[in-house]
Chains A and B, each alone.
Chain A
Amino acid sequence: GQQVMQIPQYQHVQEGEDFTTYCNSSTTLSNIQWYKQRPGGHPVFLIQLVKSGEVKKQKRLTFQFGEAKKNSSLHITATQTTDVGTYFCALNTGFQKLVFGTGTRLLVSP
């Protein structure tokens, strides 16, 4: 089946620094979703990307879908302590069957 690798596995930043997580697939993706999971919490949907080269922004978060639709990234500008959590990308393999990536755990120090 499809596998989704995320890098890095873990990142620790100082508040105010930027953060980027990358999601890579071995196959072309129809679309990709991003979720955030706070420590002890459940995944919360952030966004879905569908088009090649698509870029979407949500306040300090910028999501990008690669031109070849095999990779995606999430960039957070000027991190805040509220950004702490694990960020997952998820492939939609069809009929909303999601295959989640390995996740990037973000820790932000004040």
Chain B
Amino acid sequence: EAEVAQSPRYKITEKSQAVAFWCDPISGHATLYWYRQILGQGPELLVQFQDESVVDDSQLPKDRFSAERLKGVDSTLKIQPAELGDSAMYLCASSRDIRETQYFGPGTRLLVL
């Protein structure tokens, strides 16, 4: 069964450093999502792509976060500089199209010291 791949699974960094997360969606899935999940809370959408275009990034803190999906396949989420409050699980999800069910990857757990 096809799955969403994410790496790394865990990342420890110091504040003010740059971090990057990678996501490879299920093959053929046009829509890709990045979520942030703080411990004890539900996932919060950061950015949504349709192919290589950003559909929604209204919740993305653009002063420090950036996301790209250059060829409309895999995607990278970057934080620079990282802050203590960025410690969370970063989840990637994909769907065949914008109205289809979302499938989540295993996530990257980030700890900022």
- Using a CB–CB distance below 8 Å, which chain A residues touch chain B? 41-45, 48, 88, 90, 95-103
**How many residue pairs at the A-B interface have CB separations less than 8 Å?**
45
Check A42–B106 contact: CB distance below 8 A.
Answer: yes
Contact with A along B89-113 (1 / 0, CB 8 A): 0010001001111111111000000
Check B99–A41 contact: CB distance below 8 A.
Answer: no
Check A97–B41 contact: CB distance below 8 A.
Answer: no
Contacts of B99 in A (CB 8 A): 95-96
> In the complex, which residues 22-38 of chain B have their Cβ closer than 8 Å to any Cβ of chain A?
31
Interface residues of B, dominant DSSP? loop
Check A43–B48 contact: CB distance below 8 A.
Answer: no
Complex CA–CA separation, A99 to B102 (angstroms): 13
Please pick, from A41, A44, A48, A97, the residue contacting B45 in the complex, using a CB distance under 8 A: A97
> In the complex, which residues 6-52 of chain B have their Cβ closer than 8 Å to any Cβ of chain A?
31, 40-45, 48
Contacts of A96 in B (CB 8 A): 31, 48, 95, 98-100, 102
Contacts of B102 in A (CB 8 A): 45, 96, 98
Contacts of A41 in B (CB 8 A): 106
Q: Which residue of A lies closest to B6 (CB)?
A: A42
Q: List 13 A-B contacts (CB under 8 A).
A: A43-B43, A45-B101, A45-B102, A88-B43, A95-B98, A96-B48, A96-B95, A96-B98, A96-B99, A97-B56, A100-B42, A100-B43, A101-B42
B55 is an interface residue with CB less than 8 A from chain A: yes
Complex CA–CA separation, A35 to B101 (angstroms): 11
Check A88–B42 contact: CB distance below 8 A.
Answer: yes
Please give 12 more A-B residue pairs, beta carbons under 8 A apart, in addition to A88-B43, A96-B31, A96-B100: A43-B104, A44-B104, A48-B101, A88-B42, A95-B55, A95-B99, A96-B102, A97-B45, A98-B45, A98-B102, A100-B42, A101-B42
